[in-house]
Structure 1
Amino acid sequence: MKNARNNELADRRSAATDAKASLLTAYRAAKAAAEPSQLARQAERISLVEAREARRVERERLKLEERARLEALAAQKQAAIEAEAVAEIEARKSAENARISRVIEDEAARKAERDRRYANRKARRA
């Protein structure tokens, strides 16, 4: 007879204490039985975290390398643009100098021809 009608307060208290003690021993037994699997799960979680961290570090390294590569490429493009601009300026200067020298030479040739004609006219008159 599990539940007798004439339970006294002391009987009920001792039954409750026994029930709590049996629950506690069952919990401790279950915890002890689950300890190896818990350690294995914890080790697996730690390895997953380490792998995730390694992948994050690798992604950061790749981002830095890509950023450095892009910066170097941009610097090369900028240097090429600046060199092209300098070459264009030099070409314009040399073309302008050549044009000026041709104008001066043409002017000198025209003056020489004028002087020659003037000398011929003076020679014919004399």
Structure 2
Amino acid sequence: MSGFRDIGFGDRLSTAENARKAMLERVRAKPGPDDPAMAERRAARQAVSTAREARLAEREANKIADQAREAAEQQAREAAEHEQRLAQEANEATAKVEAVERQVTLEAEQKAARDARYAARKARK
């Protein structure tokens, strides 16, 4: 096994020390809060947030407008249905009145015919 290497305690300590130094360098390499690049990123995030809020407000306004439009359409439909119902009831009432008038006329004609037959019978005697 030529690939095996006996790593001693000192090697492990130096490896750990090198890892700590590398982590410290990465932290030090990060830009600070007053860095122009960070300010630019912050401004970009703020712009995205503002745009998102504007889209949400527009969407909410559209939603409210749609609800108002639907409510107006529903009210118009209900008014039209009510008018149609009233017209239908008026037509039915007119039809009933005409039927009653026809019945009264028919009964009057039948009574007149019956009275004429009765008078003719009386006249023959």
SS where residue 105 of structure 2 aligns? Answer: helix
Counterpart position of 1:53 = 60
Q: What is the rounded CA distance, in whole Å, between the counterparts of 2:55 and 2:49 in structure 1?
A: 10
Unmatched tracts of structure 1, length 5 or more: 1-7, 119-126
Counterpart position of 1:83 = 90
Unmatched tracts of structure 2, length 5 or more: 1-13
AA in 1 matched with 2:92:
A
Counterpart position of 2:49 = 42
AA in 2 matched with 1:103:
Q
Q: What is the rounded CA distance, in whole Å, between the counterparts of 1:69 and 1:16 in structure 2?
A: 71
The answer to which of 49-58 and 14-23 deviates more is 14-23
More helix, by proportion = 1
Cα drift, residue 45 of structure 1: 1.1
AA in 2 matched with 1:96:
Q
CA RMSD of aligned residues (A): 2.3
**How many residues matched?**
110
Structure scoring higher RCO (CA < 8 A, sep ≥ 6) equals 2
